Structure 1
Amino acid sequence: MSTILIADDESQILEILSSYLRKEGYHVMTAEDGRLTLEYVTAYPIDLIILDLMLPDMTGEDVCREIRKKSRVPIIMLTAKSGEADRIIGLEIGADDYLVKPFSPRELVARVRAILRRAGDYQVLSDRIQFGNLKVSLRERSVAKKEQAVELTTNEFRLLTTLLRYPGRTWTREELVEEVLGIDYMGSDRTIDTHIKNLRQKIEEDPKQPEYIKTVYGLGYRFENPAKDRG
């Protein structure tokens, strides 16, 4: 049974979402402020967090940043802000999905199910992949650069493994959206650009001149083996 933590200071939202998620068989925990949210993340094995951006003691962005310092747990952000810039900020600090209020609880449940399904895809794999200084364990869902652990979000990890399993193949944004975010994703395909930017910041020596993740202008992205390029 997956454990889901809902962080929101609106009791009605907590009650409605908890009811829907429990009917789907999830174990649900709730927190009404950022401090308690961070305590729960430290103390309990949480599988997914639904995080409101307007908490009474901390902003949701700050809570997300603190969580990302120590955990790759999937995060769905809830907000009343619908602007593209706000969604990009949420993704850049480590959120896996972004839902604007008001929303359908059924849509949220569908997104929870899709994210947990994607995260679970990698728990049954056992092979390891290495390119240059980059090592990836699919079973352990871990990444190391020069033997140093690299913390990736669920979507960043899925994006990286999708690219490096087919080195040299060019993926369009639409293809990566389907592979990484799922065919039911309703947002812009430019979301992939944000994930690519974040991933380059974490695995490349120089994100502005990437060795691994190359931009194929007018098409999309591909993963290259720098050792092969050096002949």
Structure 2
Amino acid sequence: MTDILIIEDNEELGKLVYDFLKREGYTVEWRQNAEEGLTFMKNEICKLLLLDVMLPGIDGYAALQEIRRTGKLPVLMMSARTDDQSKILGLQVGADDYIEKPFSIQVLGLKIKALMRRSYDMTEGRQLLTYGNITVDLATRTVYKDDNKIDITGKEYDLLEYMMHNPNQIIRKEKLFDEVWGKDCFSEVGSLNVHIRWLREKLEDDPKNPKLIQTIWRVGYKFGGAEV
């Protein structure tokens, strides 16, 4: 999981922000256009997005509209446009906050901390895992799809949490079974397939054509990696 993804085409500013956030202890990725940023987000989980408005190709507004079709992650827009209409448009298409260029790097850092705190309840020690429109609250073992609570408990929850901690990885059935049920469990590995089917029925838009939990033939399963 990446803490912060930066999409900024200005090399000098992008490097400045990237280096600052690394020093602050975040895991950071930086892409210089929206196309590469969107591709990254389809294959990796990130907790917050710093998004420039004026980008080559797809601009920040269009990129954010695409992100908001499936993603709930907090987005802080960066822009040299200081007029009210530009700010309003950014918030209307789904930005959580807006910072004007040129900005103080310290102010940016404070805005990021505040947005992280609001989004993930850091002051309460709340820990969330998010992938696409699926969110898991680790503290309460609660699962949400599109902000709606889903009834997932027991081994179903344990399976989902383990896979969300290991997104975009092919996990062998035997490995997945041992991690969730335990190596000394007397249950059959076949029960794993049943629980996967139940998870798909609750999480997938089309359980018969799963995109979130994919079957890797003769090997096991992969969580994520397809367009969700």
TM-score, normalised to structure 2, is 0.55
Q: 1:46 corresponds to which residue?
A: 46
Tell me, in whole angstroms, the C-alpha distance in 2 between the residues paired with 1:104 and 1:4: 18
The one-letter amino acid paired with 1:24 is E
Q: 1:92 corresponds to which residue?
A: 92
Q: 1:21 corresponds to which residue?
A: 21
Tell me, in whole angstroms, the C-alpha distance in 1 between the residues paired with 2:46 and 2:138: 21
Superposed, 1:146-225 pairs within 5 Å as: none
Q: 1:77 corresponds to which residue?
A: 77
Uncovered stretches (5+) of structure 1, i.e. residues with no partner? 128-136, 146-231
SS at match of 1:51: strand
The one-letter amino acid paired with 1:21 is L
Tell me, in whole angstroms, the C-alpha distance in 1 between the residues paired with 2:40 and 2:14: 16
SS at match of 1:49: strand
The one-letter amino acid paired with 2:109 is V
Deviating runs (4+, > 2 A) in structure 1? 122-127, 137-145
Q: Report deviation, 1:2.
A: 5.3
Q: Report deviation, 1:86.
A: 1.1
Q: Report deviation, 1:143.
A: 2.8
Tell me, in whole angstroms, the C-alpha distance in 2 between the residues paired with 1:116 and 1:87: 20
Over residues 176-226 of structure 1, what are the superposed CA-to-partner deviations in whole Å (9 max), with x where a residue is unaligned?
xxxxxxxxxxxxxxxxxxxxxxxxxxxxxxxxxxxxxxxxxxxxxxxxxxx
Q: Report deviation, 1:142.
A: 4.9
Tell me, in whole angstroms, the C-alpha distance in 2 between the residues paired with 1:112 and 1:141: 25
The one-letter amino acid paired with 2:66 is E
Q: Report deviation, 1:144.
A: 3.8
Q: Report deviation, 1:84.
A: 1.2
Tell me, in whole angstroms, the C-alpha distance in 2 between the residues paired with 1:18 and 1:29: 8
1:35 equivalent to 2:39? Answer: no
Tell me, in whole angstroms, the C-alpha distance in 1 between the residues paired with 2:2 and 2:33: 22
Residues 2 and 29 of structure 2 are in contact (CA less than 8 Å); yes or no, is this contact kept in structure 1? no
Tell me, in whole angstroms, the C-alpha distance in 2 between the residues paired with 1:91 and 1:138: 29
Superposed, 1:106-145 pairs within 5 Å as: 106-121=106-121, 123=128, 140=144, 142-144=146-148
Larger radius of gyration: 2
Q: Identify if the C-alpha distance between structure 1 residues 113 and 138 changes in structure 2 by more than 3 Å, giving closer, same or farther.
A: farther
Count of aligned pairs between the two proteins: 136
Residues 126 and 139 of structure 1 are in contact (CA less than 8 Å); yes or no, is this contact kept in structure 2? no
Uncovered stretches (5+) of structure 2, i.e. residues with no partner? 129-136, 150-228
Tell me, in whole angstroms, the C-alpha distance in 2 between the residues paired with 1:13 and 1:144: 38
Q: Report deviation, 1:113.
A: 0.8
Q: 1:67 corresponds to which residue?
A: 67
Tell me, in whole angstroms, the C-alpha distance in 1 between the residues paired with 2:50 and 2:60: 10
Tell me, in whole angstroms, the C-alpha distance in 1 between the residues paired with 2:20 and 2:145: 29
Q: 1:152 corresponds to which residue?
A: none
Residues 7 and 34 of structure 2 are in contact (CA less than 8 Å); yes or no, is this contact kept in structure 1? yes
Q: 1:198 corresponds to which residue?
A: none
Q: Identify if the C-alpha distance between structure 1 residues 81 and 44 changes in structure 2 by more than 3 Å, giving closer, same or farther.
A: same
Tell me, in whole angstroms, the C-alpha distance in 1 between the residues paired with 2:138 and 2:145: 9
The one-letter amino acid paired with 2:119 is A
